[in-house]
Amino acid sequence: MLEEKLKKIKIKDKQELLKLINEIYDIYNPCTIIIHGSAVKNDYVEKISDIDLIIISNEFEKINHKERFIKLLEISQRYNLRAEIFGYTKGEIIRMIKNLNFFILDAIYYGIPLKNDGIFWMNIIEEFRKVEKEHCLEKTETDGWKFKN
C-alpha cells in the first residue's frame, strides 16, 4: 500500500524514504504521515528540493515543539535524503486548520497521506471542508489562498 502511494511521488530514492518513514512510524506510532510540497506538486528537483513530511502523533503531547524538531531532524539525518519533518498532535492539526494556517491548508490540499489509521485523515479532510466552506477558501492563480471572514 505504501509502495503504491510512493509511485505517485517524483523522487528517485523511494527506498530511502520508505526506511525513514518506517523508523518514524516505529518510534512515534503516528496516526498519519503526510508528504506534501514539491514532491507531490510535480516541481521537485533532485538534489535541490527537500522532502516535506508532517507526522501526526499524540506521542508529541509529551515533547515540546523544539525537541520534536530536533528529534525528527536527528532521525532524518541518518538517511541520504533532504527532508524537512514537522511533528504535531491531532489537536494541533485541527486547531491549525481552524485558524487558517496556510502551511497546513496547503499540506492537506496537495498532500498525500502515506500512512494513516483510516480515521484521522478523514477527520482532517472533514475539518478542512468545513473551514473551506465557512471561509469560502479558494486557491489563487499564484498558488496562495484567498478567503472571506
Describe the crossing of helices 102-110 and 120-134 by its angle, rounded to 10 degrees.
120
What tens-digit pLDDT sequence spans the chain (149 residues)? 566 666 677 777 788 999 999 999 999 999 999 999 888 887 766 666 789 999 999 999 999 999 999 999 999 999 988 899 999 999 999 999 999 999 999 999 999 999 888 899 999 999 999 999 999 999 998 888 988 87
CB 15 within 8 A of CB 23: no
Report the CATH fold assignment for 2-146. Answer: Beta Polymerase; domain 2 (3.30.460)
Q: What is the pTM of this model?
A: 0.90
Quick one: pLDDT at residue 123?
95
Residue 132: partners with Cβ closer than 8 Å, 6 or more residues away: none
